[in-house]
Amino acid sequence: MTYFATQNALYKLFVRCKDIEEKIFLKRNIRYAPRKIFVQSIRMKNGSRGLPVVHHSKYVCELPPNHRFPMGKFPRVLHFLIKDQVISEKQVCTPSLASEELLGGVHTKQYLDNFIQGKIPENDQKRTGFPWSEGIVRRCRYETGGTVLAVEIALERGLACSTAGGTHHAFPSFGSGFCLLNDLAVAAKHWMGVSPTRRKVLIVDLDVHQGDGTAYIFREEPDVFTFSVHCGKNFPVRKQQSDLDVSMDDGMEDKEYLETVQAHLPWLLESFRPDLVLYDAGVDPHWEDELGRLRLTDNGLYQRDLYVIDTVVKRGIPVATVIGGGYSKDIDRLALRHSIVHRAATKVWKQQGM
């Protein structure tokens, strides 16, 4: 295992939030108290007191026959959550399409114009793994809107989970590795931009691939800390520098993986003191994954997700989760695996009486 931290990371960790209200809030250990009014209003609108799950039927689009991206997984994640009575339909919140203005917080105008109008050069399209289509543009914009909504709901209710998101390989001016818009970066920047006071975001990226696009976007942003645990020999070949990178060797199993996450998350939360955690719960570290090189089991993923969500929620910090990567030709098996994070979040939601 190898650790990398940037000079910037040291600076970011010593920047403490001086918000007095927050200090009182933390000392009294009252969770989400300042936002109680909003909590009530969302409950009434939503009609449910359960874990909010963000989903849109347009998270999917047509792909050429035999395309290797498992596009069909998104509606199946929701299908299994409802079928297995993990959630009810009342808990589902529908996002809007991310506007160009919202996306412009992270992506260059030229890239967005080319992407939306279908003018991405062929070589750039190859790098993304997707041929351009109107459907893919719409899909990515709904997916990004979904992550933005999950953040907004998490800030009011403490926890919210999308059934898509985690497109961490997208850079400001190009897409890469099945990622066209960086939803994590767009959501983080949007919230920081609309907040009246200074806010800090910790991005916990446990997808098996390094969150290179996100690391690049926030390399000089003191209020966002990027933490990536990934397989060192996996894509991308040329890594960027996250604020903290933990590079795993091939074949790592549940116990050592979980111990690694447990060794870092608490001190990061204590030192950086984020106001929000964005959690990319990619399931590609699973032993059966077609692109991963680690050996986690279903239970290992469940313990990982439970640990991350529980640790953050117990500190009174809102968490929004995205599903990240996962690759299998067996769509239902894969969708069930992606639903692990929602099952873990549901358990925390109930245990904490949220």
Cα gap 42→131, rounded to integer Å: 39
- 39's CB contacts (< 8 A; 6+ apart) are 32, 156, 157
User: 122: burial class by Cβ within 10 Å (0-12, 13-18, 19+)?
Assistant: exposed
Are 132 and 120 in contact by the 8 Å Cβ rule? The answer is yes
What's the CA dihedral at 19, 224, 248, 342 to 10 degrees? 80
Shortest spacing between CB 326 and Zn ion, in angstroms: 8
What's the CA dihedral at 161, 163, 168, 173 to 10 degrees? -110
Q: Where does this chain touch Zn ion (CB under 5 A) — which range of 28-36, 56-64, 200-208, 314-322?
A: 200-208
- Of 269 and 322, which has the nearer Cβ to Zn ion? 322
The CB-nearest residue to Zn ion is: 325
Shortest spacing between CB 306 and Zn ion, in angstroms: 20
Cα gap 36→128, rounded to integer Å: 42
Shortest spacing between CB 179 and Zn ion, in angstroms: 9
- Of 189 and 230, which has the nearer Cβ to Zn ion? 230
Task: Please tell me whether residue 280 binds Zn ion under the rule CB under 5 A.
Answer: no
SS3 7: helix
- Of 205 and 275, which has the nearer Cβ to Zn ion? 205
Q: Tokens 């549901």 correspond to what residue?
A: 346
Interface pattern 301-340 for Zn ion (x via CB under 5 A): ------------------------x---------------
Q: Where does this chain touch Zn ion (CB under 5 A) — which range of 203-211, 269-277, 293-301, 344-352?
A: 203-211
Are 199 and 184 in contact by the 8 Å Cβ rule? The answer is no
Residue 244 phi/psi, 5-degree rounding, is -140, 120
Interface pattern 154-193 for Zn ion (x via CB under 5 A): ----------------------------------------
Strand partners of residue 227: 204, 244
Are 139 and 175 in contact by the 8 Å Cβ rule? The answer is no
CB atoms inside a 10 Å sphere around CB 210: 28
Among positions 51-80, residues that touch Zn ion (CB under 5 A) are none
- Of 282 and 300, which has the nearer Cβ to Zn ion? 282
- Of 339 and 346, which has the nearer Cβ to Zn ion? 339
Number of residues that bind Zn ion (CB under 5 A): 5
Q: Where does this chain touch Zn ion (CB under 5 A) — which range of 108-116, 153-161, 280-288, 298-306?
A: 280-288
Per DSSP (E only), the strands in the chain are: 2-5, 53-54, 92-93, 159-162, 201-205, 224-231, 244-248, 276-280, 319-322
Q: Pick from 199, 209, 295, 337 the residue near Zn ion by CB under 5 A.
A: 209
- Of 146 and 211, which has the nearer Cβ to Zn ion? 211
Q: Pick from 152, 207, 245, 275 the residue near Zn ion by CB under 5 A.
A: 207
Shortest spacing between CB 50 and Zn ion, in angstroms: 29
- Of 175 and 282, which has the nearer Cβ to Zn ion? 282
Shortest spacing between CB 120 and Zn ion, in angstroms: 22
Q: Pick from 280, 284, 288, 305 the residue near Zn ion by CB under 5 A.
A: 284
Shortest spacing between CB 324 and Zn ion, in angstroms: 6
Shortest spacing between CB 296 and Zn ion, in angstroms: 13
Shortest spacing between CB 205 and Zn ion, in angstroms: 9
Cα gap 325→167, rounded to integer Å: 8
Q: Where does this chain touch Zn ion (CB under 5 A) — which range of 75-83, 101-109, 201-209, 346-354?
A: 201-209
Residues in the chain: 354
CA 323 to chain centre: 6
Q: Which residues would be at the binding site for Zn ion (CB under 5 A)?
A: 207, 209, 282, 284, 325
